[in-house]
Structure 1
Amino acid sequence: MLHELNRLGRRILLLMARGAIALVDDTKGVQTLQVRLNALELIPDVPRYAEYGFTSNPPEGTQALIAFKNGDRNDGFVIATSNAKYRMKPLATGEVAIHDSRGQSVYLTEAGIVVDGGGNPITFTNTPEVIADTPLLKCKGDILDNYETNTRTVAGMRQVANSHTHPILNIQTGGSNISTQTPTQQE
């Protein structure tokens, strides 16, 4: 009886483990990890399950929490990962963020949504249109539309529009040409 209780106790102790990710295989339907639990124990091909719609490829050294069915070290699965080096902080209660190791993030703050490209471009693809249903759209930088064929920015077009003139035709001035003055309304 004591032997059976000891065996049960050992299995309970082996139900969960924490380790560091050594390698990620992201080529299969379910991502698998190689996780180092200690200096002597390296568990290969541990499946990692994630919430639908969310996926990541955690960098080497990321902490992993593994559950083992019946305490069997050959039958485990990763239920959570965490990397303190890249964790965004401090979030206020109720805030949410997705982020990576390169400083890119989408942060749902108390004051609104903040998208940080981490110094990289942000690209929208495969969409027939982008709708901004807002009373005011602000841009700190310049805007270039039809960028593949157009080299003039909106500010450049405004400069041309604000300084252009039109000839006035059919004026009896003794044969000279007269142009309008530049627009008085500059914006």
Structure 2
Amino acid sequence: MIRSINKVMAPAMRGIRLMVGRGVLALVNDAAKMQTVQVKLLDGEVRDMERFQNYGFTSYPQVGAEVAAVFVGGNRDHGLVLAIDDRRFRLKALQAGEVALYDDQGAVIKLSRTGIVINGGGHAINISGAAQVNVTGGDVIADGISLKTHKHGGVTAGGAQTGIPV
């Protein structure tokens, strides 16, 4: 009796076992409307799959990153990549509740417990396309010089304004 039940259930159990997979990223195609990736899964199994990303966020992961994939109905020909992570570059030592965007070169935007931290990872930080940048309720400090409290020499109080910096 048990042997008969196992025989009937075997295809369903095999499908369930094949529904979720873990693999290593081998290739990225970012040209299509939905990014596609090639993933090395089980021993010798290589699949091309669509990669789902959250709206408003996108990335181009490095080859060698780790992949979590699902296969609709256990059909290995219809795989979808739901997550890609890369332990080689993952930002560590965040506090509970903190969030960060980061890349493999050390650039970070971190929503920390003490404020928003932007680190260009040794590269320039550019703000483009903005007609202006507004700062309200605070101060802008560049190289230790406050925009609100800095003083200019050689100007009489109430006198002529200083010229444009040279």
TM-score category (smaller protein) = 0.7 to 0.9
TM-score, normalisation: structure 2? 0.83
* Deviations 1:47-93 (CA, angstroms, capped at 9, x unpaired): 00111100000000000100000111100100111101110011111
Is the aligned partner of 1:75 residue 2:66? no
* Aligned residue number for residue 136 of structure 1: 139
Mark the structure with the bigger radius of gyration. 1
Q: How does 1:47-58 map to 2 (within 5 A)?
A: 47-58=50-61
- Is 1:18 aligned to 2:9, yes or no? no
Separation (CA, whole Å) in 1 of partners of 2:8 and 2:52: 32
Other-structure match for 2:164:
none
Aligned AA for 2:133?
V
Where does residue 109 of structure 2 map in the other structure? 106
Query: Residue 104 and residue 9 in structure 1: after superposition, are their counterparts in 2 closer, same or farther (change >3 A)?
Result: same
For the aligned residue pairs, the C-alpha RMSD in angstroms reads: 2.1
Query: Is it true that 1:9 corresponds to 2:23 in the alignment?
Result: no
Secondary structure at the aligned position of 2:70 is classed as strand
Give the Å deviation of 1:10: 0.5
Gaps of 5+ in 2: 156-166
The structure 1 segments of at least 4 consecutive aligned residues displaced by more than 2 Å after TM superposition are 1-4, 161-164
Structure 1 residues not aligned, in runs of 5+:
143-154, 165-187
Deviation of the 1:135 alpha carbon: 3.0
Match of 1:162 among 126, 139, 153: 153
Between Structure 1 and Structure 2, how many residues are aligned? Answer: 149
